Structure 1
């Protein structure tokens, strides 16, 4: 897909990988960013001329519906939707730090909002030119770790949703793609792991896959994980358990 003079919607585009994708794409495209942090949205719109911002808390269904309505009323056509926003809570169910309310919050942002936003923006993506929906996923969708059980479950669900949606849209103008990331240096992963991929590098690889229409894009160490899951799944799961 030629990523030039396109209208691209990105969720969670004010920090981390999302911000790097906005930075990389904004010079030749019109970028629509959805994020919760109003101050960061204001700063982003000042930094880049081709960026249009919408404030929405994706953990609240009414705000997902509201922002989708605002976008579709203003723009009849969208070329790319990048579902990037996500949250991760690391306490286990038996940790004193675990918060019950985090369950619904995490599911809503990481999975439910993606399903809803994709459906609500689908009419704008359906046109005679090629369009794309890109899900930003993780190797944890293929094999979970001990902590962050809800996060791992939502990413696994996203993997299956993406594949099923691809089947549904295979005769349409829309390509449904997925990028599986290794551990990337972002605010979410601060203090965890070593030798992490930078958000800038990850964003460039993601966009390269989008341009090349890579449906299942394994990035970095995810390639090795996929191989281990085929050859020695018990070893792969043991590694990921401690991830």
Structure 2
């Protein structure tokens, strides 16, 4: 119950879904957790439920990342666990019809924002800290109408592995968790209605050898494992795929 006692963790996009579940697991194990999100009401409500510290920040805005860094540095000085989780799917569409606005929004949050969250926090990371990126199995798939989201996650994996090499001298481990089909509200946010979502879930389950969707808790437990310096001390630059065997 006290694996992460006296440890400070930051979870971006922590007011719902995988971020919320990961923050809950970390708090259960004794960590002090800061969660961030773009909507003040949502992030404060989640923080109250979890026993976390809320901070309103948009990962797509560099000034928000700087503000978060300043708050953490002034109040806590150092960070032990950084879970860069915030991300969006954007709107689906072909390359031919993709808007520059959607491209910029997805890349600003999923790639540029994640990159500079890591960049700005490196000086605050304790030696031996853990960094985990939320990626996706789509980073290595090439399905039609998802080019921007897929590319954003592939780029994320690239920088995670480079960061693992750069930060290894300080014993800072950098890893990725890549969920497959997982029960979250991200597809609702992408604009899909209930009937379409139900049909998509049925189709996906049929493709998964284990014949079920993943849960946010499945992913959160992988984040917890990678954050544990006792269990995962020799793991860095690694991607854990959590997809029920879908990639087989």
Same-fold call, TM cutoff 0.5: yes
Q: Name the counterpart of 2:53.
A: 52
Between the two proteins, the alignment pairs up a number of residues equal to: 221
Unaligned runs of 5+ in 2: 189-196, 206-211
Task: Give the TM-score taking structure 1 as reference length.
Answer: 0.83
Using a 3 Å threshold, how does the CA distance of structure 1 residues 146 and 55 change in structure 2: closer, same or farther? Answer: same
The equivalent residue for 1:147 is 145
1:121 counterpart = 2:115: no
Q: Give how far 1:22 is off.
A: 1.2
Q: Is the 8 A contact 2:21 2:216 kept in 1?
A: yes
In the alignment, what sits opposite 2:103?
103
5+ residue gaps, structure 1: 229-243
Is the Cα–Cα contact under 8 Å of residues 11 and 34 in structure 2 kept in the other structure? yes
Equivalent residue, structure 2, for 1:76: 77
User: Are 2:223 and 1:206 aligned?
Assistant: yes
In 1, the alpha carbon distance for the partners of 2:141 and 2:48 equals 40
Q: CA deviation at 1:100?
A: 3.3
Q: Hey, what's the Cα distance between the residues in 2 that align with 1:30 and 1:117?
A: 19
- The within-5 A match list for 1:158-169 is 158-169=156-167
Q: How does 1:8-87 map to 2 (within 5 A)?
A: 8-27=9-28, 28-49=30-51, 51-87=52-88
Q: What's the offset of the Cα at 1:53?
A: 1.0
Is the contact between residue 165 and residue 176 of structure 1 (CA under 8 Å) also seen in structure 2? yes
CA distance in 1, matches of 2:226, 2:95: 39
| TM-score, structure 2 as length reference | 0.81
Match of 1:241 in 2: none
8 Å Cα contact 1:75/1:124 also seen in 2: no
C-alpha distance in 2 between matches for 1:18 and 1:131 = 19
Q: CA separation of 1:94/1:122 partners in 2, compared to 1, >3 Å: closer, same or farther?
A: closer
Distance of 1:46 and 1:218 partners within structure 2: 30
Residue equivalent to 1:218: 240
> Structure 2 vs 1, CA of residues 24 and 158 (structure 1 numbering), >3 Å: closer, same or farther?
same
Cα distance in 1, alignment partners of residues 66 and 145 from structure 2: 31
Q: Distance in 2 between matches of 1:166 and 1:94?
A: 32
| Contact 1:8 1:81 (8 Å CA) reproduced | yes
The alpha-carbon deviation at position 143 of structure 1 amounts to 1.9
For structure 1, which segment, 60-69 or 180-189, has the greater mean C-alpha deviation from structure 2 after superposition? 60-69
How far apart in 1 are the matches of 2:172 and 2:220? 21
